[in-house]
Structure 1
Amino acid sequence: MTAAMHEWGADPDRAALAVLTVHGRGQDPSFMEETARRFGPVPVRFFAPEAEGNTWYPLSFLEPAERNEPALSRSLRVLDSAVDTLARAGFPAERVALWGFSQGACLASHLALTAPRSFAGLVLFTGGYIGTSPPAVAGDGPLRGVPTVMRSIEHDPWVPRYRVDETADLLRRAGARVDLRVDEGDEHIITDEACAAATTLLTTVANGSAGTAAGHAT
C-alpha cells in the first residue's frame, strides 16, 4: 500500500539520514514540517506520508486493537511501504529514523515493536503501543542498540503516563537505548527540550556516532 509522500529538508543526494515522519490525529505533514523547523539545521531529509482523512485509526490507541481495524492494519502497511520506498531511494532501514507525534508516535511505536527493523533511531513524542495487550518482544532483535528519544507530558489529556512508561520498557527489553523524559503539565504539546533531544539524536546518528545520541540512555 502506498501513500503520497511529502518531503523537505536536506537534498536527498546529500542527506546522511532519512526521517520517516508520522503526524498525529487531525494533523497533516505540514504540522510536522513546522515542528521540524524547531530542530534547527540537521543533515537529514524528512519523508512524511499523509493519513487518509488526517487520522491513522478511528478510536483511542488504548482500545482493543481489533476495534481500530481495518484502519490500523492499513496504516501500518502505509509505513511498511514507506520504509520499502525509502530503501529503493537509497535509504535502507539503518539510514532511516522513525519520528512520530501523538497518534503518529503510537503508530510508529507499534510498528517498531511489532515489525522491528534496524532503524537508525526512534523519536517518539507522546505515544505508546496500540491496544490492551503489550506486543511480545525479543531482546536479540533488530532494535538492539537503536538510540531512542521518548518525550511526553505527565498529565497529557490523551496519552497516559503509564502507557508511555510501558512502551519505553518494551523498547528497552527489545534492546533499544531509550532516553525517556516526562515533563510536568497537562497540555498536548511538543516542548523545546523534546525538539533539542531530537536534534541531538538525528545529528549524532547522521554523523555516524549513534552510540552517544541519547544522553540519558538506559
Structure 2
Amino acid sequence: MTTGGVPMVEWGVAREDAELAVLAVHGRGQDPSFMRQTADRFGAAPVRFHAPEAADNTWYPQPFLATIEANQPALDTSLGVIGECVAQLEFSGFPPERVVLWGFSQGACLLSHYVLTTAPRRFGGIVLFTGGYLGTEALRPPDGEPLRGVAAVVRSIEEDPFVPPHRVEDTAAALRGAGASVDLRIDPGTEHIITDEACEAATNLLAARHSRG
C-alpha cells in the first residue's frame, strides 16, 4: 500500500522490476480484491498493479447513463481520486506513458470519462471491460488527438444488463476520435462478466507495450 495520498493495494512484480504500472479500478459493489483475482487470469507481464478503493465500494451513486448532475458531487470526487493516483504513480517513477488504465464496469466508466474529459494524454494503454463514458449526451472527442499512439482494448457483452452496447461503441468511437488505436469486441451473452478472451487481449496489450519499451 502506498504511503500518503490515496491508499492503493499493490501486487505484481517488484516496483524496481516493473516496466509498467497498471491502475486497476473496480466496479460498483466491488473492491481491489476483485481486480486482483481478475489479474490472476492475465498472462505473465512485467507490471505492477495499483488499485484504489471507492468509498462504500461505489464511485458514483446513479447509473452511468443518468445525467452528469445526478452523479455529482461523487463523480468529480472520484475523477479527482484517479488524478491523484496518476500523480502518485508518476512520483514513484511511472509517468503517464508507463501507466495502463484498466477498469471494469463502473471502474471502466470512470476511466472512460477521465481519459476523454479530465486528463486526455498519452497513457501507456487503456483497458476498458464493460463500460463507457458517463451522461445522457454524446461526448465530443477532445481536440488535437491527445491519445494518438495509445492502444485501447474495449470489451463488453451484447446484452449486458447494465451497459448497453451502443454506449460501448460510442466510447470506442470517441477514443478513436481522440487518436487512440482501439481494439473493440462485443461478445454475445447476457451476463455481466469478463471473458477469457478479454483477459487475453489485456495481456497482449501489456506485452506489446512492454516490447516497445
Which of 2, 5, 9 does residue 8 from structure 2 map onto?
5
Mapped partners of 2:143, 2:64: distance in 1: 25
Pairwise CA RMSD:
1.2
195, 202, 206: which is aligned to 2:206? 202
Which amino acid is the alignment partner of residue 187 of structure 2?
D
Shift of 1:96: 0.3
2:48 counterpart residue number? 45
Question: Normalised by the size of structure 2, how large is the TM-score?
Answer: 0.95
- How many Å apart are 1:136 and its aligned residue? 2.8
Consecutive unaligned residues of structure 2, counting only runs of 5 or more, are none
Choose which of 59, 62, 70 in structure 2 pairs with 1:59: 62
Q: 1:168 aligns with which of 164, 169, 172?
A: 172
* Match in the other structure for 2:87: 84
SS of residue paired to 1:123: strand
Query: Which of structure 1's runs of 4+ aligned residues deviate more than 4 A?
Result: none
Confirm or deny: 8 A CA contact 2:18 2:46 kept in the other structure: yes
Distance 1:75 1:2 in 2: 14
Q: Distance in 2 between matches of 1:206 and 1:110?
A: 26
Q: Quick one: which of 186, 193, 197 aligns to 2:190?
A: 186
Distance 2:175 2:185 in 1: 15
Distance 1:60 1:138 in 2: 24
Confirm or deny: 8 A CA contact 1:139 1:175 kept in the other structure.
no
Does residue 1:23 correspond to 2:26, yes or no? yes
The TM-score with structure 1 as length reference comes to 0.93
Q: How many residues get paired?
A: 209
Alpha-carbon distance in 2 for matches of 1:190, 1:174: 26
